[in-house]
Structure 1
Amino acid sequence: TKLKIVARAGVGLDNVDVPAATERGVMVVNAPTSNIHTAAEHAVALMLATARQIPAADATLRDREWKRSKFNGVEIFGKTVGVVGLGRIGQLFAQRLAAFETHVIAYDPYVSAARAAQLGIELVTLDELLERADLISVHLPKTPETKGLLGTENLAKTKKGVVIVNAARGGLIDEAALAEAIKSGHVRAAGLDVFETEPCTDSPLFDLPEVVVTPHLGASTSEAQDRAGTDVAKSVLLALAGDFVPDAVNVSGGAVGEEVSPWLEIVRKQGVLIGALSGELPVNLSVDVRGELASEDVEVLALSALRGVFSAVIEDAVTFVNAPALAEERGVTAEVTKAAESPNHRSVVDLRAVFGDGSVINVSGTLTGPQQVEKIVNINGRNFELRAEGLNLVINYTDQPGALGKIGTQLGNAGIDIQAAQLSQDAEGEGATILLRVDREVPSEVRDAISTAVGATKIELVNLA
């Protein structure tokens, strides 16, 4: 297929066949953070409108009735606010409610107590939250486990007079059970922006004046819509350039932190070097991360390594999306290991490829200096310090007097300039590897002449651009 990317200027992907796209190597992106501020603000708006009965009061006054004594709301100030789900929107909601001088408690089994403490939030069990909270806002995804989470049983556990808001996903609250809890007086009021079935034009909640409802407006602001378009446009540009796309939903490896992102290219280039030197695919590719980088989530580096190796060996386009599928089809396994120790560099990534005949190729790379310059620092136990850029001749040969001069002569005769060079000998001082960065392609006849002149056992031109 010529299709490269499917971009959804929003969050939902119900109308995209993601598995089919993945199978064909087509990246699917959305804009998961484009509406988080808008959604959090809408939850706050529902909370305030519900607590102060604003829509009902507005309706009576529009009917030319002045019923001031009928509407006696509750303050947010000083209350305990329970946040069910402490993801990005849940955190934003909690931060905004904290400004009302509330005490925020939260339930989320995937958030550590330390992280919650950083946010100034007390992490509790769901039962404790239901028992203690004066106001509850739900911020969970809809899954089989969360569907109907606030049903008859859990609503009965809530504090009498609680105010409940759901601007996350329909179906998290049993609407019939909530209506009964409001009628009985146990739940004071509720605000809902989402419903189990949408569009929703009939619900037992619609007849209750204590309920504030909106037709799924959580993402409906001009700013969120503009941001969604901008976000997916950036993702499309990244994808078409072959770069990693943080918002791709069908790329394995997890999120890429700012500490990991600069390493994607050097690891890809290490893979390119392995592929060029071997001319075949390995059966196993090990990505060994050492030093400070090992404290980060680096699983995505395996994808970069696979991209590099495959792009040097096969003709198919290799992307972050189809790299795992290509590896599975061709029997290549990839793994990531980590170690805190790095003797010579703050961080280094060692790529180790094992081939079907038992042979091994190792290539190590690092980033140096404030500019994070990409460098190849080791090939098969031989140390280097060469920028990973441009066209490079990699020559393995038996060291001998005058070998470098012979190589330079052949390149000079062909009008090829050597821009940088690094030589490394093995421990015995016999075998040697030289890396030469050149300014143009080296024709096969020139490579053959160099090979003959120095008795090269391997000579490859590798593009590390």
Structure 2
Amino acid sequence: MHATLFSVQSFERSFLQHANTRHHQLQLLDTRLCADTAHLAQGAAAISVFSPDDVSGPVLEQLSSYGVRYVAVRAAGYDNVDLVAARQLGIRVANVPDYSPYAIAEHAVTLMLTLCRHLHQADQQLRANDFRLDQLIGFELHGKTVGILGVGRIGAVVARILHGFGCRLLGTDVQPNPELTERYGLEYVPLSQLCAQADIISVHTPLTPATHHLINERLLKSMKPGVMLINTGRGGVLDTAAALRALKSGHLGFLGLDVYEAEKGLFFTDHTRDLLLDDTFARLLTFKNVLITGHQAYLTREALTNIAEATVASLTAWGQGEAPAHELLPPPVKAGSSATPASAKA
């Protein structure tokens, strides 16, 4: 099968090439998919996309006119894909939901540990020959109450890891998993109770219309003073401007982010020669109690291998007239309804 892969990072290429044992014709582009670049897929039966790509209805219409019939998302989340429009156009879509919950969960806990022990600040001081410890007093995870917002595959691994640290675990999810309660003592509680009691909150919820800015000014004010908030899920779940105000007031004690609601056009690109025009992001970087990584939580050899293999497997299945293991099934479109973006598990 001839496939055009958009937003391919340099570190992805070897993994994709190694996984291509069926010798599909892969065109690997570092270009982001949008209305102005969709023409690059001409001649391809399939495309593959990543989180920075625009796979909205108008772009899908362009792709369909070029003969594209398949979209393989190299990620678990697919909130950038208009599934309703895809179904109307007869374009089939697959994602990679199970590439590695461990990669994301371990990164979330890494952010927690780095913040609670001021490791990023300690590194900066030491490199400046400042060996004082006065500003580096941290706290232990042991005995702390951690709230997990979204206890799916990733949240479950977070619970397992933090259980080993001796944390009290709270969780909120639309589908409680009794096994986590039995094995790790995780207590499912309403979101309001989780916010009121948790010393640390880790976000792993999908981005949907209902969860967009779920963590807003009101919810932040309901959290314990000095709370640590970690988001490795989707940037849009957090109202960043509200979080910035909570940091300035001191109510939000620590903030660890691997995702950012305005990350498109910012993350995955070298901007060393550019002015940082995002004032909110620039302000976040001035806080010593804020740690931001550029959407790298998934970036492990194991996860990259799984993503590449699953993406190629979807192409192979489609080429053989079969359904991939992780093909997405959008809801039926009612007559007269307009195409709206769908969303996915983080």
Is 1:65 the counterpart of 2:144? The answer is no
Residue 30 (structure 1) aligns with: 95
- Give the CA deviation at 1:16: 5.3
Distance 2:226 2:165 in 1: 19
Is 1:168 the counterpart of 2:168? The answer is no
Q: 2:311 aligns with which of 205, 226, 232?
A: 232
Residue 41 (structure 1) aligns with: 106
Structure 1, residues 387-420: CA drift from partner, whole Å, max 9, x if none?
xxxxxxxxxxxxxxxxxxxxxxxxxxxxxxxxxx
Residue 85 (structure 1) aligns with: 150
Q: Where do residues 179-328 of structure 1 align in structure 2 (5 Å cutoff)?
A: 179-198=244-263, 199=266, 201=276, 202=278, 203=281, 204-250=283-329
Is the alpha carbon distance of 1:196 and 1:232 closer, same or farther for their aligned partners in structure 2, counting shifts above 3 Å? same
Tell me if structure 2 keeps the 8 A contact 1:4–1:240: no
Task: Using the TM superposition, name which of 96-105 and 118-127 deviates more.
Answer: 118-127
Structure 1, residues 163-204: CA drift from partner, whole Å, max 9, x if none?
111111112222232233233332221111111211275423
Letter in 1 for 2:297: G
- RMSD over aligned CA atoms reads 2.6
Q: Secondary structure at the match of 1:207?
A: coil
Tell me if structure 2 keeps the 8 A contact 1:81–1:104: yes
- Give the CA deviation at 1:127: 0.8
Tell me if structure 1 keeps the 8 A contact 2:111–2:256: yes
Distance 2:179 2:211 in 1: 22
Distance 2:162 2:98 in 1: 20
Tell me if structure 1 keeps the 8 A contact 2:79–2:207: no
**Aligned residues with identical type, % of pairs:** 35
Tell me if structure 2 keeps the 8 A contact 1:155–1:181: yes
Structure 1, residues 318-366: CA drift from partner, whole Å, max 9, x if none?
xxxxxx89xx9xxxxxxxxxxxxxxxxxxxxxxxxxxxxxxxxxxxxxx
Is 1:112 the counterpart of 2:191? The answer is no
Q: Which has the larger radius of gyration?
A: 1
Return the structure number with greater strand share. Answer: 1
Q: Secondary structure at the match of 1:44?
A: helix
Distance 2:82 2:168 in 1: 43
Is 1:131 the counterpart of 2:196? The answer is yes
Structure 1, unmatched stretches of 5+, are 253-323, 329-465
Distance 2:245 2:89 in 1: 49
Residue 96 (structure 1) aligns with: 161
- Give the CA deviation at 1:231: 1.1
Bigger RCO (CA 8 Å, 6+ sep): 2
Q: Secondary structure at the match of 1:171?
A: helix
Letter in 1 for 2:146: V
Distance 1:239 1:41 in 2: 33
- Give the CA deviation at 1:9: 2.7
Structure 1, residues 260-304: CA drift from partner, whole Å, max 9, x if none?
xxxxxxxxxxxxxxxxxxxxxxxxxxxxxxxxxxxxxxxxxxxxx
Task: Using the TM superposition, name which of 181-190 and 158-167 deviates more.
Answer: 181-190
- Give the CA deviation at 1:68: 1.3
Distance 2:207 2:80 in 1: 17
Q: Where do residues 338-417 of structure 1 align in structure 2 (5 Å cutoff)?
A: none
Distance 1:22 1:55 in 2: 46
Distance 2:80 2:203 in 1: 25
Tell me if structure 1 keeps the 8 A contact 2:156–2:180: no
Q: Secondary structure at the match of 1:235?
A: helix
TM-score by length of 2: 0.66
Distance 1:123 1:18 in 2: 31
Tell me if structure 2 keeps the 8 A contact 1:82–1:129: yes
- Give the CA deviation at 1:24: 4.8
Q: Secondary structure at the match of 2:110?
A: helix
Number of corresponding residues? 254
Residue 285 (structure 1) aligns with: none
Residue 141 (structure 1) aligns with: 206
- Give the CA deviation at 1:251: 6.2
Distance 1:226 1:211 in 2: 31
Q: Where do residues 4-19 of structure 1 align in structure 2 (5 Å cutoff)?
A: 5-13=70-78, 18-19=83-84
- Give the CA deviation at 1:13: 4.2
- Give the CA deviation at 1:100: 0.7
Distance 1:73 1:49 in 2: 10
Letter in 2 for 1:114: P
Letter in 2 for 1:164: L
Q: Secondary structure at the match of 1:154?
A: helix
Tell me if structure 2 keeps the 8 A contact 1:116–1:123: no
Runs of 4 or more off by more than 6 Å in structure 1? Answer: none
Q: Secondary structure at the match of 2:309?
A: helix
Distance 1:30 1:137 in 2: 24
Structure 1, residues 33-69: CA drift from partner, whole Å, max 9, x if none?
2142211111111111111111111111111211212
